[in-house]
Structures are given as structure tokens and as C-alpha cells.
Copies of this chain bind each other. A is one copy, B any other.
Amino acid sequence: MSIYYVSIGEREYNVQITNSHVLVDGEPIKADLTPLNENGLHVFRQGNCNRDFYLNPQAQGIYEVLAEGRRVLARVGPAGRRANAKGAAQAGDIVAPMPGLVVMVGIKVGDCVEAEQVLMVLESMKMQMQLKAPFAGQVKQLTVAAGAQVEKGALLVKIREATE
């Protein structure tokens, strides 16, 4: 038997899988998932109901699931260990909220910044976004310069409360 902890949004599910059945949060579920091709399309069969489920494994145990016009991100924690939905980011770690181009950086390492001060500007698909300091503090780390292309979730700046 294998146990998986699966997080979707705030909710966590406990999924137990054996060769002959599955339990979700302790409740037996009669269902069947069959791959239809090698790209992630499956049919999820439950009772008299067949549904397209598209499952796309992404980084860090996250699965994109498309079903009935909806898209869900499910984080699968390894058997026997709970997934940490929040990740390890600390307060003051500014990460890229979207992929894009750094069009302006207004700080350098060591600068003191005010709360709400604009640290840098990101651009993606013609949309610009200002990244602001969450609280007053000092720039401890700066990983990019203007012109850099960044992925969603990349750490850009570390702000720590000033330790005068």
C-alpha cells in the first residue's frame, strides 16, 4: 500500500493506493484512470460516468489537472510525508509573480527601502507590474538586472528588516 498526500488549494487529501482499490480520506472510491495517449490525456471512469482528465506533471510534484472546463493544480507529497503547500519562501523574499522581462530595477544591494517602495518593474505580454517592498528594510540580495528574463517563482530580491 502507498499513501499520498495531495494538496489542492487549502484542502489536503489522503490517498491510499493498493493493487485492488483506493481510499480517499479513508473512503473507498471505485474509479479507474486509463491513459488515452502519451501526452497526458486520460479517461477517468467512475460508475456510469466517463470523463476526460488531462494530467500534466510539472515541477516539484505538482500536477496540472484539466477536467470539465476547469484547471486544478494538485501537489502530490511523497508517500508518507505531507506536502508543504506554501514552500520555503520567507517574508521579504520577492519572487516573480509571473514570467517576464525585468524592465527596470530601482535598487541595489544594501539600499534601505520603505514599505511599498517600488523595487522593480516586470513586463509580460504587454502588461507591466511593479514589485514593491512588503515592509521597510534593507536589500540583502538582488538576483537580476534590467533586461533579464525571469521565470515565474524566481527569487528576485531579499529584503530583511534593517538591523541598525
| Residue A39 is within 8 A (CB to CB) of chain B in the complex | yes
Give A1-44 interface residues, CB cut-off 8 Å to B.
Answer: 38-39
Interface of A is mostly: loop
| This chain: copies in complex | 2
User: Using Cβ atoms and an 8 Å threshold, which residues of chain B touch A38?
Assistant: 38-39
In the bound assembly, the distance between CA atoms of A38 and B38 in angstroms comes to 9
Give the number of residues in A that approach B within 8 Å (Cβ atoms): 2
**Which B residue sits closest to A37, measured CB to CB?**
B39
Give A37-88 interface residues, CB cut-off 8 Å to B.
Answer: 38-39
Q: Mark A111-150 against chain B: 1 for CB-CB distance below 8 A, else 0.
A: 0000000000000000000000000000000000000000
**Which B residue sits closest to A39, measured CB to CB?**
B39
- Residues of chain A at the chain B interface (Cβ within 8 Å): 38-39
User: Which 3 residue pairs are nearest across A and B when measured between Cβ atoms?
Assistant: A39-B39, A38-B38, A38-B39
